Structure 1
């Protein structure tokens, strides 16, 4: 299998002050969102996202039914998770990279992936949010020893039957160049299927 595109970008390189608050990426249905932040002597305030704006950008209604918080310690790697749902993810502490993979065979960007750098180590820095449509896989790894926290909303209530869906982070077909060696990976993620097996399972059930 050949990749349509694979590259790394840094969210700090996107000038949301001059460009729209919602930025499309090279992957179909993967958006980057950064609303303005307002700071003064008391602290700072920033909207995370406006769901109607995302719906308008995608041309369909977006519904967030559950929100949760994740905390990952130094050198932890999670993913590649591919639950069948839309996701809205906002990293807000620490330094990490996220890798988004298009795992939808019907998508024009099937098998494309993007690696994005997030640095939220500065106090009161603006936060960037990712929107992933159903069919995209998400993964992340912590850079350094400081923990990373993010909040995320999903379009479906937790379902144990689909919670373990995904592709192994070191799948040779994707050949993602993770920036850390010897990551801390859960047994569940380490035992996820490779890309070929995942696609077979999605096709044949």
Structure 2
């Protein structure tokens, strides 16, 4: 695996190293030793997947406080525009945004560090996203950033046509800080 750090501290785009033969290829998608060699202690305890029927479906941007989730995200079918915002107040990249495209042909993964908000927009119909997480979901600790929050200028590349009521209802980030 080849790790490339993004504009957010400790967040990586991971390119898979494929070993080809007459059958096709083999690639490792997770290895504790390789992650630890990059300073990442990631012990997944849950595997999640989402399937979105329509292009333009937005999921997120979600994070948890105080139990923070780290994620390893992959798009094995379709294509997504993935967005991460650093919500760690002690981070040198606090409130920075990282945007990446993942699809089934690039064989890339994203490592999203704990304390970051994460979401994505589907760029194709019938898109599937898989991700490993290192903490259990706790509804009482869930927080969110609305896709069009004026505190962030997310350059969504396509029109958002489908979004949940919950994801639309998040308060402006500046208001959340005062609550």
Tell me the secondary structure at the aligned position of residue 33 of structure 2: helix
Decide which of 181, 186, 205 is 2:159's aligned counterpart: 181
Partners of 2:161 and 2:10 lie apart in 1 by: 29
CA contact (8 A) 1:34 1:48 kept: no
CA contact (8 A) 1:55 1:61 kept: yes
Question: Does residue 138 of the first structure (1) align with residue 122 of the second (2)?
Answer: no
CA RMSD of aligned residues (A): 1.9
Unaligned runs of 5+ in 2: none
Partners of 2:176 and 2:46 lie apart in 1 by: 25
Partners of 1:96 and 1:62 lie apart in 2 by: 23
By percentage of residues, which structure has more strand? 2
Structure 1 stretch 192-201 or stretch 60-69: which is displaced more? 192-201
- Alpha carbons of 1:63 and 1:198: their partners in 2 closer, same or farther (altered >3 Å)? farther
Partners of 1:179 and 1:61 lie apart in 2 by: 33
Unaligned runs of 5+ in 1: 1-19
CA contact (8 A) 1:66 1:157 kept: yes
1:10 is aligned to: none
1:68 is aligned to: 48
CA contact (8 A) 1:34 1:49 kept: no
The count of residues paired between Structure 1 and Structure 2 equals 175
Partners of 1:21 and 1:28 lie apart in 2 by: 17
Q: TM-score, normalised by structure 1?
A: 0.77
1:40-51 equivalence runs, <5 A? 40-51=21-32
CA contact (8 A) 1:75 1:184 kept: yes
Partners of 2:103 and 2:16 lie apart in 1 by: 17
CA contact (8 A) 1:52 1:62 kept: no
Q: TM-score, normalised by structure 2?
A: 0.88
1:165 is aligned to: 143
1:14 is aligned to: none
Question: Does residue 98 of the first structure (1) align with residue 89 of the second (2)?
Answer: no
Partners of 1:196 and 1:62 lie apart in 2 by: 31
Tell me the secondary structure at the aligned position of residue 63 of structure 1: coil
Partners of 2:49 and 2:173 lie apart in 1 by: 27
Partners of 2:158 and 2:12 lie apart in 1 by: 25
Partners of 1:195 and 1:169 lie apart in 2 by: 11
